[in-house]
Amino acid sequence: MTPVNCDNMNPLIEKIKEVEKPALKLEPGTEQRDAYRREVTRYSKDFLHRLNSDNAYNGNNDKTIINSLEVSETGKPLPQLLEIFEKAVEKPGINAASQGHLGYIPGGGLYPAALADYLAAVTNKYAGIYFGSPGAVLIENKMLDWLKEIMQFPKEATGHLSSGGSIATLTAITAARDAHAVTGAAAEKAVIYSSTQAHHCLHKAIRIAGLSPAIHREIPIDSQHKLPPDMLEVQIKKDKENGLQPFLVVSSAGTTDTGAVDDLDAISNIAQTYGLHHHVDAAYGGFFILVDSLKNQFKGIEKADSITIDPHKGMFLPYGIGAVLIKDTLSTMKSHHYKANYMRDAYSDDVDLSPADLSPELTKHFRGLRMWLPLHLFGVQAFRSALEEKNLLALYFEEEMRNNGFETGGKPELSVVIFRYKGDLNEQQAETFNNELVRRIHLDGRVFLSTTTINRQTWLRCAILSFRTHLSTIRQTVDIIKKLKKEIKAQNLE
């Protein structure tokens, strides 16, 4: 039999050819790609240039821009879309790339991380499973190995690079739950301990992990905003005596509010004595362990059972990368490992565990590359120095605030300073004063600071963690605060 070319007769082929043409628009040629890239790099270059003069905060939102975000059937030219991006996305709100971002926990955005994301997207390697891309999984695992090393965790510990600290914490809480078999009716007698300063992602993780029936004891903080180990121990003993099952304690290596580092060594020892899983939330503070002068504050972290640490905070990476380290690999796999029929090929000869076995994700962003590239390009020393610089800037800022008549939360442990003005005002007046101060800082917009409530008082926070924040920005911040304080005083606010 001779093969017959039946292209012309098959209506299916006709249809394929018909839709192929418009579909080809999705694969621009070399010239078009170069043109796109030039537009985007020009925009990024201008953006980075603008950072020097642009505000850190813009509270004026132009709501009309929302109309331009409508999806169209035919598409729009790139320059027009970049214009929309500038107006709708870049300008309003907090400029998280700005050196003046000193609120919440500031963001980063190391440039090579953006290039790594570009490479990850263009090559689109499948980082979920070793079989799919051994190289991508090895790079992610190498990054985890490095994190284990700096935290003095054993090499056999496991973990994954997550989208952020919240998902990292969820994985750790789930592993603790499974290690202690906290299911069904057992959950009602299970007890979780943290201080009142625990990040709210813990509360979310508890709910998502089905641990809402468990008792969550939030131990009041001491005068230094830390979890008091003696009170923790007393409570655990009491709960055990009453037939409850304490199984998890969550401490903080740098709280979001005040940057306080709990006594990790004492808490680790208590956890070991009473057989509890000790999880350390080091999402914000963890990378300060790289700084020699601060290392001692993290003593005992190596004895913990799991750690959350956020490279999109302390490594200045763009948003979208956290990490969890967990010593108990089997318990981690219990919730996350899955062998599906359609994935038969994937398990034949894996030499490394895959992220898909250790995290809720299957198909995932190859986010290890955005950590790997800057770390290898710059070396650890650059990060160490930048983190030490942030700590020193915080010490300097706290000193300046005190010298200018502000109350502070004391010498900052890492890089968060809390302060408020009291002077000879009564409590009511002081509240009004400090709220007015932050309102005017936001209105000015050159730097962005946030507030928190501690003991029912409003405190301003200066959180220094952007790699772009140097002495000049902190001096500028001090000047702005001094000037605004003078203005408010002159108006004699009641």
What does the alpha-carbon distance between residue 318 and residue 119 come to, in Å, rounded to a whole number?
15
Least distance CB 359 / ligand PLP (angstroms): 14
- The reply on whether position 182 binds ligand PLP by CB under 6 A is no
What does the alpha-carbon distance between residue 322 and residue 340 come to, in Å, rounded to a whole number?
27
Q: Which two tokens stand for residue 130?
A: 């070793």
Q: Which of 103, 128, 159, 164 binds ligand PLP (CB under 6 A)?
A: 164
What does the alpha-carbon distance between residue 299 and residue 282 come to, in Å, rounded to a whole number?
13
- Segment contacting ligand PLP by CB under 6 A, of 44-52, 75-83, 115-123, 164-172: 164-172
- Segment contacting ligand PLP by CB under 6 A, of 163-171, 233-241, 266-274, 363-371: 163-171
- The reply on whether position 367 binds ligand PLP by CB under 6 A is no
Least distance CB 489 / ligand PLP (angstroms): 34
C-alpha dihedral, 177 to 181 to 184 to 186, nearest 10°: -100
**250 or 291: whose CB is closer to ligand PLP?**
250
- The reply on whether position 177 binds ligand PLP by CB under 6 A is no
Q: What is the DSSP string of 353-366?
A: --HHHHSS-SS---
**310 or 413: whose CB is closer to ligand PLP?**
310
**248 or 484: whose CB is closer to ligand PLP?**
248
Least distance CB 298 / ligand PLP (angstroms): 14
Binding mask 277-306 for ligand PLP (x = CB under 6 A): ----x-xx----------------------
Q: Please say whether the beta carbons of 267 and 278 come within 8 A.
A: yes
> What is the helix (H) or strand (E) element at residue 463, kind and residue range?
strand 457-463
What does the alpha-carbon distance between residue 73 and residue 2 come to, in Å, rounded to a whole number?
45
Q: Which of 178, 263, 310, 413 binds ligand PLP (CB under 6 A)?
A: 310
Least distance CB 6 / ligand PLP (angstroms): 57
Q: Which of 98, 141, 158, 166 binds ligand PLP (CB under 6 A)?
A: 166
**312 or 468: whose CB is closer to ligand PLP?**
312
Q: Give the CA distances from residue 376 to residues 117, 290, 381, in Å, rounded to whole numbers and listed in that order.
A: 15, 16, 11
Alpha helix stretches (DSSP H) within 94-164: 111-123, 134-150
Contacts of 322 (CB under 8 A, 6+ apart): 161, 162, 163, 164, 165, 166, 167, 168, 283, 308, 309, 310, 311, 312
- By CB under 6 A, the residues from 200 to 239 that bind ligand PLP are 201
Contacts of 262 (CB under 8 A, 6+ apart): 195, 226, 227, 251, 252, 253
Within 10 Å of residue 153's Cβ, how many Cβ atoms? 24
- Segment contacting ligand PLP by CB under 6 A, of 158-166, 205-213, 229-237, 422-430: 158-166
Least distance CB 408 / ligand PLP (angstroms): 20
- By CB under 6 A, the residues from 330 to 349 that bind ligand PLP are none
**133 or 466: whose CB is closer to ligand PLP?**
466
Q: Which of 322, 368, 409, 445 binds ligand PLP (CB under 6 A)?
A: 322
* b/e code 467-494 from CB counts within 10 Å (16+ = b): bbbeeebbeebbebbeebbeebeeeeee
Q: Which of 256, 297, 391, 408 binds ligand PLP (CB under 6 A)?
A: 256
For the chain, the straight-line distance linking the first and the last C-alpha, in angstroms and rounded, comes to 100
Closest by Cα among 192, 184, 203 to 245: 192
**307 or 478: whose CB is closer to ligand PLP?**
307
Least distance CB 305 / ligand PLP (angstroms): 17
Least distance CB 168 / ligand PLP (angstroms): 7
Contacts with ligand PLP by CB under 6 A: the residue count is 14
DSSP state of 253: B
**322 or 374: whose CB is closer to ligand PLP?**
322
Least distance CB 87 / ligand PLP (angstroms): 27
Contacts of 241 (CB under 8 A, 6+ apart): none
- Segment contacting ligand PLP by CB under 6 A, of 161-169, 378-386, 400-408, 466-474: 161-169
Least distance CB 189 / ligand PLP (angstroms): 27
Least distance CB 151 / ligand PLP (angstroms): 15
DSSP, collapsed to helix, strand or coil, labels residue 214 as: coil
Q: Please say whether the beta carbons of 193 and 238 come within 8 A.
A: no
**222 or 399: whose CB is closer to ligand PLP?**
222
Least distance CB 403 / ligand PLP (angstroms): 29
Q: Which two tokens stand for residue 87?
A: 């107006």
Q: Which of 94, 97, 102, 105 binds ligand PLP (CB under 6 A)?
A: 105
What does the alpha-carbon distance between residue 463 and residue 390 come to, in Å, rounded to a whole number?
9
In the complex, the residues that contact ligand PLP under the rule CB under 6 A are: 105, 164-166, 199, 201, 252, 255-256, 281, 283-284, 310, 322
